[in-house]
Amino acid sequence: MKKLTTLALLLAISMSACVSKSTHEKQVKDLNQQLEASVVAISKARNENVALTEERNKLQENLMATAKDRGQLKTSLDEMKKAMEEMRQRQAEQKQRLQEFEDLTKRFKKLTDSGALSVQFIDGKMVVSLGSDVLFPSGSAKLSAAGLDALKEVTAQLASIPDKRYQVEGHTDNVRIATATFPSNWELAAARAINVTRSMIEAGMPAERVSAASYGDTSPRQSNDTPEGKAANRRIAIVVVPDLSTMPGYDQLSKKSTP
């Protein structure tokens, strides 16, 4: 602005020496008008520059927000894909277990029809239950002849299912036993489970695929208030041990448990 003013004054002085007064005044007026127009233009340019700077800053903020939203969206999509994959795995596992249950039920149809055993899902596990009254005399852990025959047939079917492990559980009713051989129901149930396990191994079940456990009278299937309930609770349960390696997230869990 100062340079423009100085230039205008010098030009006016130089022209005053060679032009008339009226011409000089007109020239000064024109210069002042040009000067004012320049000032207005500069002011307008400055305002436009401020507006452009604000717009640029706003665009940068929007761009950063968009990038953040895209990152969050990608994270959400990745989590959704992971959840859907886990759901598909669970559905596939459920379908496989239902197929295995149907297969197990078909294998033991003759024995289930005769009432010698039952096949059930209990606490998320497949269980083959045999009544102790069929397998053992009262108060004894020695398998009867009929019990051995039934057990051989059960073992043949279970052993033919590949890659399955079993736990033999001994259960009693709530009638207390206290003998020199079996001081409590725990010992009786344990002896029965062990004898069934041993007989299954002798019948062809690989020893590494079967184990024994005792529950005594702590896990009844029915009320012990009736003779029928007591009979149902006196049982040997052969549990199909779940394969945890098929569970969603098993690989991550096994890595965490590795020392």
199 within domain boundaries? yes
- Rounded Cα gap, residues 216 and 232, in angstroms: 13
- Does the global pTM surpass 0.75? no
Q: What single letter denotes the amino acid at residue 4?
A: L
At residue 30, the pLDDT reads: 61
Judge whether 146 and 134 are in contact, CB under 8 Å: yes
The tens digit of pLDDT for each residue in 62-80 reads: 777 777 777 777 777 777 7
**Which CATH number goes with the domain that contains 239?**
3.30.1330.60
Position 253 pLDDT exceeds 50: no
Judge whether 184 and 138 are in contact, CB under 8 Å: no
At residue 229, the pLDDT reads: 95
∠ CA(135), CA(145), CA(203), 5° rounding?
85
Q: Please tell me which residue, 231 or 28, carries the higher pLDDT value.
A: 231
- Rounded Cα gap, residues 73 and 54, in angstroms: 28
62 within domain boundaries? no
- From 141-150, 190-199, 234-243, 249-258, the region with the lowest mean pLDDT: 249-258
51 within domain boundaries? no
The stretch 40-65 carries a mean pLDDT of 76
46 within domain boundaries? no
Q: Please tell me which residue, 242 or 6, carries the higher pLDDT value.
A: 242
Neighbours of 231 (CB within 10 A): 14
At residue 34, the pLDDT reads: 62
71 within domain boundaries? no
Mean pLDDT of the chain: 81
- Rounded Cα gap, residues 144 and 135, in angstroms: 6
The stretch 158-168 carries a mean pLDDT of 93
250 within domain boundaries? no
The tens digit of pLDDT for each residue in 76-130 reads: 777 777 777 877 877 777 777 777 778 778 888 888 888 888 888 888 788 999 9
Strand positions, DSSP E, the chain? 117-122, 125-131, 166-171, 210-216, 235-240
Burial environment of residue 206 by CB neighbours within 10 A (0 to 12, 13 to 18, 19 or more) = exposed
Q: What single letter denotes the amino acid at residue 117?
A: L
Position 141 pLDDT exceeds 90: yes
Q: Which of 237, 169, 238 is nearest to 205 (CA)?
A: 238
36 within domain boundaries? no
- Rounded Cα gap, residues 239 and 258, in angstroms: 27
Provide the residue range defining the domain that includes 138: 99-243
31 within domain boundaries? no
Q: How many domains does the chain have?
A: 1
Position 216 pLDDT exceeds 50: yes
Percent of the chain residues past pLDDT 90, beyond the cut? 41
